[in-house]
Amino acid sequence: MAIVNLQDLQVTFGAKTAVSAASFRVDAGETFSLIGASGCGKSTILRVLAGLQREWRGSVDLLGQAITPGARFQGDLRRNVQMVFQDPYASLHPNHTPVAHPGGAAADPRHPRRCPASNHRP
């Protein structure tokens, strides 16, 4: 079962496109990392998944339920979907990449990457 199924997500703020055609699926039991440069849309995608971003286009299913832009989460979604805001300067070493970060899942060979990051660049 897909815990998250996101297809062709697009988020714009006025004339600026923050996320363009993002798609991924996370099945139950999988470990998934969303990494990228500052300003590339990671937090915006997470805001959509947490129900905090009201305007967006695309198809998003969470826990088997389709969500729509602007809708308030009810029932299981409201109880089970959360977003923890993090201060990266307090928790990550600024000189380490996600792969080199001590104890990071990206460095653990038991958590293979789905595809190289270079495949995601236009």
Nearest of 11, 18, 7 to residue 69 by alpha carbon: 11
Instruction: Compute the average pLDDT of residues 16-45.
Output: 93
Query: How far is Cα 26 from Cα 60, in angstroms, rounded to an integer?
Result: 12
Angstrom CA distances, 83 to 35, 43, 44, 95, stand at 16, 10, 12, 26
- 92-106, pLDDT tens digit by residue? 566 666 555 555 555
Go through the domains of the chain in sequence order and give each one's CATH number. Answer: 2-92 (3.40.50.300)
Query: How far is Cα 55 from Cα 44, in angstroms, rounded to an integer?
Result: 11
Instruction: Compute the average pLDDT of residues 93-122.
Output: 52
Query: How far is Cα 46 from Cα 49, in angstroms, rounded to an integer?
Result: 5
Query: How far is Cα 42 from Cα 85, in angstroms, rounded to an integer?
Result: 12
Kindly report whether the global pTM for this prediction surpasses the value 0.75: no
Six-digit token string for 94: 């600024």
Looking at residue 88, its pLDDT comes to: 61
Query: How far is Cα 47 from Cα 56, in angstroms, rounded to an integer?
Result: 10
